[in-house]
Structure 1
């Protein structure tokens, strides 16, 4: 017997979704699992902890470990539950629930911690769980966190807030408004030194270091333990507002953290890795100034070449072929480079040339891949998902579910 049915409506504020389709999120999980399973089994992690495992690259990492390698998994993420019939929670809330359902059907452990990954209390909760109910040790830690703020662990009165800004200059260019389907000109002023420092505290590698040190001190890291953080370089046309901006400074700091972590885990034959990712559609990437315009040009070129990837495609290839496989692509700084397809010289040349042709009048035509970019954004929130065409959900049913 069905319960109270609630109509699902798409709501946006600029490039931020204000609504979610829980059943679409469930189908998206099933679709990603199917993709991994069709690739077959590989010998990867067996006990994995994903910090930021509820969406995008973190979720994709969790799915490929569970359904590609048969791993038990723990995810730490901060997601909003159902509040009422007009606010059905976040997509990540439902991703955690439906991932757990499918993992447990497959006989796997899938533990979700919903809370602030930056706190010592969360680190202690996870450690206690590993010791008591997760076999005592983990062999993989994925750090995939995109957060707006972080409280100083040494001073609870100080809160650092991350900023997406250029450094040393004001940058002007086109951006996309997904709510209005418009292309508009945007100028972003250069960050102050305080804003740069705060972004490094939030988006750099400080908390990654703290996690590994905490787990190491607790004796829950297995021999041969691996840990990986995701970085991004992208095209020179995006350097001003990413690679050379505040986010780029944070990623540089994360690489320094990786070297510190490597020394920390040498004695357990561990490996600390930085992986440079491909540009993809995520909740974070759609609000990076000017970045969506690069994406709609890049996607067009990569779709024509057959090299375009969604997060699950990208991360499954990373772990299957590079982290645990025999096809690693490593640069002169020791970073894994699954972004090589994006960085391909011909791909970049065609993307840059296409960007020069984009105008407010033609951006939403066959000239670009705006339709793909927008659809991928919708799918993050459970809309326009293949296999899920519902326009309402059983409110009584979904409110009984817990992650």
Structure 2
């Protein structure tokens, strides 16, 4: 079967298992060439199939022999339709870890749901006992609240006034000007509900209540600030409000975990070429100049 790239908007709807496995192996090989480090014994990575979540899992497993459970929401292959890249990434990672005699378990499903939280907790109890580190690296366009059943959608909009800037079409390379409308209060609240820190805190609470979060455990989430070029529509926009909530959640969790010697923190990272970043107007142009 020959797999051809199929592009819809900013999304490539096909992925190649061999290419994904090669990319994962490149990261693994690089990690093995670096000095090892004294990491946690057991880690849970929520949002582990691409980007910083996958990179964290690779670094932990092949840099400090950490046992990891990865949670993600990806689609397997069906008929002539290929699996998503994140699915192939996760399979390649798991196989490479097990080949080296290292524990790696994948859980595919909606990380926002109570069902996946419960399944993850049962896997921790059965295989690891407790986890010492929780990495939260979810990026999603929507979230169904597990308690209310209400579905929220994240929007990428400026706040207070429209924003106009230059962007680049990642498929054609064409540079053009784009104008984004400003968000309503409902859209702001909905974006915070999806990309803020509520679900992160719910994960920590679920793990604590089940007795699978080790004393002194640490947790980390990832954020991004960006350049002045993107500030009006990113950090000062709806996504920025969600990031503010995420960072406030880190302070709340840090106070909670500090009582047992643990901590919660935020890592501010650089821009990367990902499906998520390609979807943000202006950012593709910035990244093309950055790299």
Give the TM-score normalised by structure 1: 0.71
Q: Counterpart in 1 of 2:119?
A: 125
Q: Counterpart in 2 of 1:372?
A: none
Mapping 1:1-400, distance limit 5 Å = 6-85=1-80, 87-134=81-128, 136-156=129-149, 158-299=150-291
Separation in 2, partners of 1:242, 1:17: 23
3-state DSSP of counterpart to 2:273: coil
Separation in 2, partners of 1:12, 1:89: 15
Mark the structure with the bigger radius of gyration. Answer: 1
Separation in 2, partners of 1:43, 1:264: 24
Q: Displacement of 1:20 after TM fit?
A: 0.5
Aligned pair count reads: 291
3-state DSSP of counterpart to 2:265: strand
Q: Displacement of 1:280 after TM fit?
A: 0.9
In the TM superposition, structure 1's runs of 4+ consecutive aligned residues that sit over 2 Å from their partners are none
3-state DSSP of counterpart to 1:172: strand
Structure 2: unaligned runs, 5 residues or longer: none
Separation in 2, partners of 1:33, 1:287: 27
Separation in 2, partners of 1:89, 1:182: 29
3-state DSSP of counterpart to 2:275: coil
Q: Counterpart in 2 of 1:376?
A: none
Q: Displacement of 1:154 after TM fit?
A: 2.2
Q: Displacement of 1:163 after TM fit?
A: 0.6
Q: Displacement of 1:159 after TM fit?
A: 0.6
1:70-111, CA deviations, whole angstroms, 9 ceiling, x for partnerless residues?
1111011000110122x1110000011110000001111111
Q: Displacement of 1:153 after TM fit?
A: 2.1
Q: Counterpart in 2 of 1:354?
A: none
1:240-260, CA deviations, whole angstroms, 9 ceiling, x for partnerless residues?
111101111100000111111
- Root-mean-square deviation (Å): 1.0
Query: Conserved in 1, the CA contact under 8 Å of 2:113 and 2:145?
Result: no
1:347-381, CA deviations, whole angstroms, 9 ceiling, x for partnerless residues?
xxxxxxxxxxxxxxxxxxxxxxxxxxxxxxxxxxx
